[in-house]
Amino acid sequence: MRLADRAVLITGAASGIGWGMAKAMAREGARVAIADIDRAKVEQRVAELGGAAYGVTADVGDLAEIDRMVSSVTAHFGRLDVMVNNAGVTRRCAFMDIDEALWDQVHRVNAKGVFFCLQRAAREMISQGGGVIINTASIAGRGYPGTSNAAYAASKGAVITMTMLAARALGRHNITVNSICPGVTRTELAQNIMQLQSEKEGRPLADIEAQAARGIPIGRMNEPDDIAEMAVFLASPAARNITGQSINVDGGLIMM
């Protein structure tokens, strides 16, 4: 197995892309810690995953909670080999309708949360001699015009930049840092956004989904497993010499 006995912590792991990653990494032999703000969902997912799964609730916008989360997982597993910063928030909002509250809500989790989770995990990895950090960015951070809102796009652009800077700072400690940039992905969050668009425009949800897929060269939206397989690769020894990269998984929407 590609991740045999590796201790993995995934934030935002109770649903969507994070849950897809948790299942994929567990199948590859990892001991997976599922972190999420929703306690009930965490308990449900730990029960579903079984085996060496561990659950922890945390608000990644709160530094004290980040410290508690990483300390708890490290104490439970004895080490932290892979940190996946996946937790994120957004909602559809027009450019001129973005207010300070939305900006702060999005950046508190998507930018601040990612940085301080990354930094806290790196402290553990430095002391143990290395590790892997994977950030979930987005093609929104590359300027994809179909993004849910500009605040979200800016937060994901920050993740892409942080990934490069962290890779430079942490490489000498045998820590690789990469990010994955998903395109349009069939998750609960994405479905909710498309449902709101459907209601606002008075069009069937199937039309909204077809429109989203129409511009994708490969002709279909991502499933969470598409992102999960890239995460497994980046967490595995096969990616030991890859760092500072932000890799699109989007069916060809953004070719850069």
Task: Report d(CA 86, CA 20) in Å as an integer.
Answer: 11
Q: Which of 80, 152, 178, 236 is catalytic?
A: 152
Task: Report d(CA 139, CA 246) in Å as an integer.
Answer: 10
Please give, one letter per residue, the 3-state secondary structure of the chain. CCCCCCEEEEECCCCHHHHHHHHHHHHCCCEEEEEECCHHHHHHHHHHHCCCCEEEECCCCCHHHHHHHHHHHHHHHCCCCEEEECCCCCCCCCHHHCCHHHHHHHHHHHHHHHHHHHHHHHHHHHHHCCEEEEEECCHHHHCCCCCCCHHHHHHHHHHHHHHHHHHHHHHHHCEEEEEEEECCECCHHHHHHHHHHHHHHCCCHHHHHHHHHHCCCCCCCECHHHHHHHHHHHHCHHHCCCCCCEEEECCCCCCC
Task: Report d(CA 33, CA 72) in Å as an integer.
Answer: 10
Task: Report d(CA 156, CA 153) in Å as an integer.
Answer: 5
Active site residue 144: no
Task: Report d(CA 163, CA 157) in Å as an integer.
Answer: 10
What positions carry a catalytic annotation? Answer: 152
